Amino acid sequence: MFALAGMNGLVIGAIYALAALGVSLVVGIMNVINFAHGELYILAGYFSYLFANAFGMNFALAMTLAVALVFLFGLLIEYTLIRPTYGNDMYSLILTFILSIVLQNAYLLIFGPYPNKPPNWVGGSTLILGSFYYGNQRLAALIAGSAVITLVFLVIKKTWFGRIIRATSQDREMAELNGVNTKRLNMLSFGLGCALAAAAGVILAPIFPVTPTAGVPVALTAFVVVVLGGMGSLWGCVIGGLIIGLVENFGAAYISTAYKQVFSFIILILVLLSRPSGLFGRREA
Amino acid sequence: MLEISGIDVFRGETQVLWEVSLKVRPGERVAILGSNGAGKSSLLAAITGTLPPQRGTITFKGAPLAGLKPYQITQLGVALVPEGRRVYRDMTASENLEMGAYPRRGRSQLHRTMEQVLRIFPVLDERKHQVAGTLSGGEQQMLAIGRALMSRPELLLIDELSLGLAPVITKEIYRALAGLVEETTILLVEQNVEQALHHSQRAYILESGRMTRNGPSAELMADDDIRRAYLGL
């Protein structure tokens, strides 16, 4: 049971990390908290379900298309809802909160309250360490999640886009003076943040089918992960995501499944008591 | 190269510059002097587009800068070494320099310019892989200048180069600047009047947002009023 809970924790942890990276990116660069993050995660799940099940697309194509569409939707949200609110963080908070409610109800009207599930990528299961069989779909999700996280790190560390993202989140005005079109960067990074939520959504949807409100706990956990890991720290997202994923699953396995979410908050409180700026956060941000 | 005529600049509701005019010719080194709060930094902010003037015009290489955003003005060949250096603290020294080369004019020659900058400031070569926040004040100032040079600017604006630096370090940096490639025009803002006059050909004096005097630096240096007011002699 220990190893099984550990595997489950890793899979969920990788997805939390992915969702948290999207939140962290947007907070770091734009100082905007996107309360509709979870709904975009779910939107990608619905898209991949729709494309694969109703239109009969190949699952990989359906997923890619779903992420691309959510990215475009993210650009649109930035342009229409977020851009007019720069300078007042509270407005964007309220607007994205309203958006999340609107989207939840739209999903309910369009797809109904029942869980919808895109097809599995792979079937069967694999014997892990000679002790238990683990679903191949979950293993594939872990690999896909890790691959996307690695890709994000490579982009942030190695490319011009990553360099200007880091520079802008440290000193926005200076980055503009160094030739960065920060307005356009805002739009792109908001879209990218949404696309990361979408990537988490399409990877996890075959395992945890999508419902109109299934994004709420994921987004909530993503916010917890960002705070736990430290605002603006990418490593914080990854380590924080894994910690929360593992703690939730060990807690559920050994104590009670009903308190699954409580465990992550207990960890959060314990960490914040000793390190108020999170695990990898800078003391003075 | 740079021509400013009659600009009024506001910070919020407060007017900080009144009918300021100034001219910088190619290859020149011009200093703007004045005490704290005289509007020196606001003048630079007006040139870089951060604080666009409400009245008056600024032209760079004959083209008006009105309506251009800071990132566009940077692309035209203006680079700022900001007050307080403002290096990207969590990025390494070499990443900071690379950021300076982000404008199109700098990026194609990144490696060549990087070599030149590291030759001007050899200590940055030693600190290349160090995170900028851990560098000393003088090294950060060199890094900020190096970052500005990375865009291969035609006009280099330097705000308070000597602020918070030991005199020895200031001298060293000024000496390095003097050896800079000839084609870079420099507009220097300084509270350290002696250094500024020493390292410029002409100077303007800004007092409470108005230009009060200007002339060749050597002449101003010899002027009794100026010596009394700014040099404490």
The identity of residue B159, as a single letter, is D
pLDDT tens for each residue of B186-228: 999 988 888 888 889 999 999 889 998 899 998 988 888 888 8
Alpha carbons within 13 A on the beta-carbon side of B207:
7
Mean pLDDT (chain A, rounded): 91
Please give the pLDDT value at position B233.
Answer: 59
Mean pLDDT (chain B, rounded): 90
Does B70 sit within 8 Å of A177, measured CB to CB? yes
Does B80 sit within 8 Å of A179, measured CB to CB? no
Residues 133-152 of A with CB under 8 A from B: none
CATH for the A2-274 domain, from 1.10.3470, 1.25.10, 3.40.710, 1.25.40: 1.10.3470
Please give the pLDDT value at position A102.
Answer: 97
Does A178 sit within 8 Å of B151, measured CB to CB? yes
Instruction: Give the one of B70, B90, B106 whose C-beta lies nearest to A170's C-beta.
Output: B90
Q: B49: phi > 0 → left, psi -120 to 50 → alpha, else beta; which? A: left
Q: How far is CA A252 from the centre of its chain?
A: 22
pLDDT band at A54 (very low <50, low <70, confident <90, very high): confident
Region B12-18: mean pLDDT is 93
Q: For residue A92, give Cα distances in angstroms to A105, A191, A197, B90.
A: 20, 15, 18, 27
Distance (Å, whole) CA A81 – CA B163? 42
- Residue of chain B whose Cα is closest to the Cα of A176: B71
Q: Is A182 on the interface with B (CB under 8 A)?
A: yes
Q: Is A172 on the interface with B (CB under 8 A)?
A: no
Entry pTM: 0.88
- Higher pLDDT: B58 or B179? It is B58
pLDDT band at A285 (very low <50, low <70, confident <90, very high): very low
Q: Where are the alpha helices (DSSP H) in chain B?
A: 40-48, 70-76, 93-100, 104-107, 110-120, 122-126, 137-149, 167-178, 193-198, 217-222, 224-226
| B70 contacts in chain A (CB < 8 Å) | 173, 176-177
Please give the pLDDT value at position A61.
Answer: 94
Beta bridge partners of B210: B207
Region A137-148: mean pLDDT is 94
State the smallest CA–CA distance between residue A214 and chain B in angstroms.
37
Mutation target among B71, B78, B104, B134 for the A interface, most CBs of A within 10 A = B71
Residue A200 pLDDT > 50: yes
- Residue of chain A whose Cα is closest to the Cα of B48: A177
Q: What is the ipTM of this complex?
A: 0.90
Q: Where are the domains of chain A?
A: 2-274
